[in-house]
Amino acid sequence: MGDEENSTKFARVVRDCAKTSSVAVENVEKFLAALKNTGKELEGISLLDVKNREMISYMAELSLLMSHISCGKSISEHPAVFRASKHRTILERIRPIEQKMKSQIDRLTQGIHNGELKAPPRARPDQMEFDDDSESEEDEVGEEEEEKKTKKYVPPKMMAVRYEEEDNEKETKAVERAKRRALQSSLVQELRQQKRADGKYEADKERERFEEDHFVRLRMSKAEKKRERLQNRDNAIDDLFNFGNYMMRDESGEALSNNKKRKASRTGGPRGKKSRFDRKKSQKLKAKSKVLLEEHFGKTVSLVAAALLRESGPLPAIMFRLRGAVKLNAVWLKKILPIPDVRKSLAILNQHSVVDFKIDSTMRINYSIDRNAILAFSKAPRCCLIAKTLYGGLAEAICEELFSYGRLTCSDTIRKVALRLEQPLADVKEKFCRLAEAQFIAKCPQVVSTLKGCPQFETSYDPFIMPDVILQASSSCAEESRKRKAPSPEGDEGIYWRLNWLRFDRYIRDEMTLELLVPKGSSLERTSRSLTQTIRSLLKTNEVRAAPVATINSAPISLFDMMRCVKENELDIERPDVEKALRILVDESRGVVRKSGDSGGGLFVIDFERAIEQICQFHIESLIREQLESRAVRIFRLLQQRGHLEEDQIEKLTMMSGKETRELLYAMLEEGYISTKPIGRTNDFAPSRTFVLYYVDLPQTVRGLVEYTCKMLRNIIVRRSFEVKEHRQLTDRQVKMESIMETINADEALDEETKKQQMAEVEEMYLSSADRVTLERYRRAQTALNAAETECERALFAFRLFLEFSLRKC
């Protein structure tokens, strides 16, 4: 029964195969006849022709395979299987193209069936791109003749693509833009200018009152006259061009188009005239300097220094400026600084080498201020840490005493450190000599004479030689000197010492170079150690040759000198390791370490300019990555490598979309990381005939970062002072509690249990659990602020050093 059913099914299948095979044979013959009649197409191979050919071949191969299967043969290794798979793959690849052209094919087939074409086929831009060939039929003959010639490449036209953006993101961006416009409103700025104008009128009234009271006419200097003339001119120009646009000003109150459409020339203008950017940067430096001095010396000294930061001058001019400043200050409104306080403030600033004085041609003593000396106060903790790392705790204490007092004699410094740390004088003296030998401390020039009450200092002297006689007074005399003057002298009176900030700057520069060449956390410990020791030997050999901090290149250093330095400083590295490390540094330091000769085992040079430039570039890239994203860093590096590029070129080279490229470029341009240069094809600079090139001006970017860093440091110092003032009562109670607990702990009449009980009661009495939590939070905040200040100071030092290098190039 089963055999009959199988034979019946097999007969039915054979009949179906024979029927379909005959139909297929007829179709194949028709296709072959159509293909034979089809000529060569000038426009290329037709899509339908390709599909017909492949379909015929595919059906032929299937027929062959079916015949083999009907005969009972195996087709597992038959070559027709591969050929059929090939034709099927081509057909599958053609299917998406046919799907895109479905509308045109349907219209053509419909027109053929109906006998006429109702409408010409219309291209669909959202599915296919067609060449924009709109030539008439009369030119087809000419095109056939020119077909064999070389044609000019015509890029395809850009199609409009719909950008699907979420509505919430649009609303968020609109709200942010509205907030920025509201914060940058010139209405608020006009109120600020009115406030400043009221202050100016008050200063003018105060000036007139001073002249009437003292029967003297105060003359304006040339700088003041020029400043007033420029201010009046700027106000008049702003009034002329103010058309009521209240939403197009930045935080400084200046129009957004003033300094973004046209870049000011560096070499243009009269000599000595600062650009607007330089004036703004100097204002940030003044604000930071004032906050630093107020933190270290108080309000009075900071007001005197602020008067000198505006302009140098004699004591009467300083008094006049201070009187106007104090009268306009909200805190000191009803108090005028007396002359003794001003003189005392000048003496304090001179003691710390911040203020200098000299006598002019009119025999008046003019006071001037050194901004670099003020900015050095913020790196004092790091300098003390450097001294402690190199020479121990006694050297750190010596640096602390010299920084606290500004300048001291050698004998006073040694006695103060020995008394504070309870160390012998000989040990402290040895550390003092080592610091002087390493040039971390320096002597101040001695007074040789006086001229009209102004001291005259010696000009030729060695600032690093120790005095011949020190510590001559006995310890008993030193104890009596607390109450009265010691009768016997020390032997070095009049020879004062101070911290040598330039030497610390050189050490910090070398330390930053070492961190650049050998980053922390290196994977190969042995190689990292040999590289570190080799760079240290290079830097220590270069320390012997005293040079300014902004030296572009070090002097050539031979391998023999390096090995001698290795033995003297016990760096524990062999010569083969040094040679291997030098080869690695020359190849992979990106130009920081170069080989300049072969004498003496090889001459090597350290390029400090290249090192500081790479450090600044790392800071800038880190800021760009934090503020924007990593793709903006890609654009920044591309502009640094290629120079001036257009927006389309940047888009192609970075392989990003046009929208993303424009957004990142405009954001970087707004932050000041890149600059633009308009190039006009004509002299009128019309927008249609002008193209804009983007480029990186690294010195200009670093100047902006100097301004931001100064502002950040000022905010850190102000916040730290506020925290100290806010938690003053808690810290005072803690100090008092610790003193009582030390007294209890030192009492020998009490046993251990009684001591613990009393100490717990005192702690609970002075500080509750909430107070202890607040105090711990305050300590963590102070630690974070101090760490942030240290890092900002390092970055600011690198930025300022880079600017010094760039100025030396000009």
Confidence of residue 160 (pLDDT cuts 50, 70, 90): low
Q: What phi and psi values does residue 714 have, to the nearest 5 degrees?
A: -60, -45
Selection from 348, 287, 224 nearest residue 716 by Cα:
287
CA distance 336 to 798: 41
Q: Per residue in 123-132, pLDDT tens?
A: 454 444 444 4
Q: Report DSSP state, residue 655.
A: T
CA distance 274 to 255: 19
Residue 265 has pLDDT above 50, yes or no: no
Q: Which tokens hold the place of 687? A: 């927008």
| Contact between residue 102 and residue 47 where contact means Cβ atoms under 8 Å apart | no
Cβ atoms within 10 A of the Cβ of 536, count? 19
- Cross-strand bridge partners of residue 358: 366
Residue carrying the six token digits 């401390």: 441
Q: Which tokens hold the place of 591? A: 């130009």
Write down the pLDDT at residue 156. Answer: 65
Write down the pLDDT at residue 240. Answer: 40
Q: Per residue in 667-723, pLDDT tens?
A: 999 888 999 988 877 776 677 778 889 999 999 999 989 888 888 888 898 898 899
CA distance 147 to 135: 14
CA distance 540 to 681: 56
Q: Are 277-369 and 612-696 in the same CATH fold?
A: yes
Percent with pLDDT over 90 in the chain: 7
CATH of domain 277-369: 1.10.10.10
Please state which architecture CATH assigns to domain 612-696.
Orthogonal Bundle (1.10)
Please state which architecture CATH assigns to domain 374-499.
Orthogonal Bundle (1.10)
Write down the pLDDT at residue 223. Answer: 79
| Contact between residue 759 and residue 741 where contact means Cβ atoms under 8 Å apart | yes
Kindly list the domain boundaries of the chain, sorted by start residue: 2-118, 277-369, 374-499, 504-606, 612-696, 705-809
Q: What phi and psi values does residue 558 have, to the nearest 5 degrees?
A: -85, 160
First-to-final CA distance of the chain: 108
Write down the pLDDT at residue 639. Answer: 92
Write down the pLDDT at residue 259. Answer: 41
Lowest mean pLDDT among 108-122, 124-138, 372-386, 520-534: 124-138
Q: Per residue in 491-533, pLDDT tens?
A: 678 888 999 998 898 899 888 888 888 876 555 566 788 888 8
Please state which architecture CATH assigns to domain 504-606.
Orthogonal Bundle (1.10)
Q: What phi and psi values does residue 275 have, to the nearest 5 degrees?
A: -75, 170
Residue carrying the six token digits 């006995």: 474
3-state class of 692 per DSSP? Answer: strand
Q: Which residues of 159-180 are buried (b: 16+ CB within 10 A; e: fewer)?
A: eeeeeeeeeeeeeeeeeeeeee
Burial class of residue 414 in the structure, from the number of CB atoms within 10 Å of its CB (0-12 exposed, 13-18 middle, 19+ buried): buried
Cα R_g (the chain), whole angstroms: 42
Burial class of residue 95 in the structure, from the number of CB atoms within 10 Å of its CB (0-12 exposed, 13-18 middle, 19+ buried): exposed
Lowest mean pLDDT among 77-81, 150-154, 672-676, 754-758: 150-154
Q: Per residue in 437-480, pLDDT tens?
A: 888 999 888 888 887 778 888 888 888 888 877 776 655 444 44
Q: Which tokens hold the place of 432? A: 């003092």
Q: Which tokens hold the place of 580? A: 């291997």
Long-range CB pairs of 449-455 (<8 Å, 24+ gap) are 451/359, 452/359, 452/363, 452/365, 453/365, 454/357, 454/358, 454/359, 454/365
